[in-house]
Amino acid sequence: MSTRSPRTPRLSVITPVYNCLSYTKAMLASLQATIPWYVSYEVILVDDGSTDGTREWLLGLGEPFRVVLNERNIGFGASTNRGAALARGRTLALLNNDLVLRRGWLGPMMRALGSVARRTGVVGNVQVDAATGEVDHRGIVVDVKCKPGHDRRKPSLAALLFRPTPGVFAVTGACLLVRTCLWRRLGGFDERYFNGCEDIDLCLRAREAGFGVVVALRSRVLHHVSSSPGRKRRDEENSMRLFTRWRDKLSEEASREWTRERFCEILPEPRDFPDNTEALKTALYLLRLRRLPPADAVAAKHVAIEHEMERWRKMFSH
């Protein structure tokens, strides 16, 4: 296979692989078909102990592919770190092997990452479930129970036209752009997570360092969601670790979501507000012009937090 990459590529694609050879072949074909001719790149594939012929197939690849073989299965985060440590590009593109990339996916993400004024650090995009055709991801949000999950709302035409790169709480690592220098400054993924939550943790560390996290709404890819074997096996452990590390940030987002839902419930009948002052405070809080959430939101948040902590205590006490 020929390469358009010079000695020092502009983009380093990092893709961990664990079985699912047919998906890997399709993703790499779509990658080569959709990267613009003017973007030099390399692809670092990290096989995480595949047993379906993937390792043998990978070893037959030439440029622009570089292959790393793990001796054992070490998980998504550690495999990504291992590949990123070898990257020569100025920008890292973390791509799952079960994506199908569509023409035009890269440009909006690169432009968002290049926004100096916004000091953007991490960029995600819109991912469509390959099986259903429905939006599976346009950023990560936190619900009223302090649990992060995918925002699956279809982007509106107004958003696509006038706000194509909104700031978000976090984005998934299935398709993510980050500057190599920032990745290394942050130390990459925290390997204490195993196949879950390491992407949210990375985004929160980027935000803590003063960098923005955005989603490029004009970039769309297809995703065979959670196709890797054992993908969900340690979800609860990962969630508990994330919550323990980022309790304040998750609580803050949960308060805002609770307030938003409550405000939308009451808005059709404003008389349900205790008084006009409370309504004004709620509106200012949602507009981020007031720092303190309503008292009801704080109470609901504490109930949700205690419920989760008690559930985890019982789950992991054995």
pLDDT in tens, 71-93: 999 999 999 999 999 999 999 99
Same structural domain for residues 125 and 241? Answer: no
- Domain containing residue 287: 235-315
Amino acid at 61: L
Provide φ and ψ at 206, rounded to 5°.
-65, -45
Peptide bond preceding 166: is omega within 30 degrees of 0, i.e. cis?
Answer: no
Same structural domain for residues 243 and 206? Answer: no
In a domain, 172, yes or no: yes
Q: Percent of the chain scored above 90 by pLDDT? A: 68
State the pLDDT at residue 234.
81
Query: For residue 306, what pLDDT band results from cuts at 50, 70 and 90?
Result: confident
In a domain, 156, yes or no: yes
Domain boundary pick from 199, 223, 247: 223
Same structural domain for residues 146 and 75? Answer: yes
In a domain, 254, yes or no: yes
Domain boundary pick from 183, 202, 223: 223
Q: State both tokens at 212.
A: 């923005």
Same structural domain for residues 297 and 261? Answer: yes
Q: Helix crossing, 235-266 with 198-208: angle to 10°?
A: 60
Domain boundary pick from 191, 223, 255: 223
Residue 82's alpha-carbon distances to 85, 86, 105, 123, in angstroms, are 5, 7, 25, 21
pLDDT in tens, 92-140: 999 999 999 999 999 999 999 997 667 999 999 999 999 999 999 999 9
State the pLDDT at residue 3.
42
pLDDT in tens, 178-221: 999 999 999 999 999 999 999 999 999 999 999 999 999 999 99
pTM for this entry = 0.89
**Backbone region of residue 242 per phi and psi (left: phi > 0; alpha: psi in -120 to 50; beta: other values):** alpha
State the pLDDT at residue 313.
79
Question: Among candidates 153, 154, 231, 151, which has minimal Cα distance to 197?
Answer: 231
Provide φ and ψ at 160, rounded to 5°.
-65, -35
CATH number at residue 68: 3.90.550.10
As for how many domains the chain has, the answer is 2
Q: State both tokens at 50.
A: 């595949």
Residue 30's alpha-carbon distances to 33, 100, 107, in angstroms, are 5, 6, 15
